[in-house]
Chain A
């Protein structure tokens, strides 16, 4: 359960200590890629909670979403349209949606856990 958090920490520390920087003009691509990655991650967590998780779908979704988002931003820059805003909007909405669903699922689980012992007491 704690493994993903440890992974996040390791990634953060790795990034901070390697002093790796992206040129300023590419930082918008990276930010959109981060957003896409977060979206996929929360989608994965949701699928996991709903017992619909599929490794292949998750992994391919992760990488294609990142690439697609960065590609869309790149295309937008070259077309002179702020296409990355479209990606930000789409990912933002999905992120909130996924988080809301995760919250509901967790709440449901929590309450069903609380109620079950109460019910058993009543039964007894």
Chain B
């Protein structure tokens, strides 16, 4: 009887150990902060920048609020605010100095594939990213204005921007920027030029004093945003 209990005890000890090990294995591993000093500093700097941006935004909103409280004619201030927001959302035509990028197919003598119908979507995305990195303020591809929710996708071999077919060649991409020269040089030496060349497309950019961008003409689809109910 005593032997039996000892055997049971040994077995239960082993089972307990196995259960504990299994429990520890399936438990989520703790996430350690493994950033080094440099990464921490970088993160700190980016957070500080973000804070500064947010502060600026708050200041702006406070000013607007102050204006609204001060002026008798609230309507005008509100109209101004709305038109500014519309402009920022890309719902108005804008013009200014910038660059015009022209995309044309190039056929060298060794070219043997089929016709080139449109610029692949990934190249358009890449180009837009590079433009934004290099300080573009507003972008329009063909007749389509690029806003924050613009979809760029490919369907049946045709690239769609804002759900409409991309303009035919030569494709004009109009960009507004504060520093057209700088943007022009950046684009001419950019990686996207190289990648366009792989697809037999040439990319030519010219700085221009006055360029007019069309407005975004589709309905803006707002998801993940709700109106805030005013606390009374």
Interface of chain B residues 13 through 36 with chain A (CB within 8 A): 13-26
* B7 in contact (CB, < 8 A): yes
The yes or no answer to B82 lying at the interface (CB within 8 A) is no
Interface pair A34/B9, CB less than 8 Å apart: no
Is the CB–CB distance between B16 and A10 below 8 Å? Answer: yes
The secondary structure that dominates the A interface is helix
Q: How many A-B residue pairs have CB under 8 A?
A: 101
Are B20 and A27 in contact, with the CB atoms below 8 A? Answer: no
Which B residues are in CB contact (< 8 Å) with A30? 18, 21-22, 25
Is residue B8 contacting chain A, with contact meaning CB distance below 8 A? yes
B3: Cβ under 8 A from any A Cβ: yes
B11 at the interface (CB under 8 A from A): yes
Q: Would you call B14 and A11 a contact (CB within 8 A)? A: yes
Are B16's CB and A11's CB within 8 A? yes
Residues of chain A contacted by B18 (CB below 8 angstroms): 11, 15, 30, 33-34, 37
Contacts of B83 in A (CB 8 A): none
A12 within 8 A of B: yes
B12 interfacial contact with A, CB 8 Å? yes
22 contacts between A and B (CB under 8 A): A3-B6, A7-B9, A7-B12, A11-B12, A11-B13, A11-B16, A12-B19, A12-B20, A14-B16, A21-B21, A21-B24, A27-B25, A34-B22, A38-B15, A40-B11, A41-B8, A41-B12, A44-B11, A45-B8, A48-B4, A55-B4, A62-B11
Binding site for B on A (CB under 8 A): 1, 3-16, 19-22, 24, 27, 30-31, 33-34, 37-38, 40-41, 44-45, 48, 53, 55, 58-59, 62
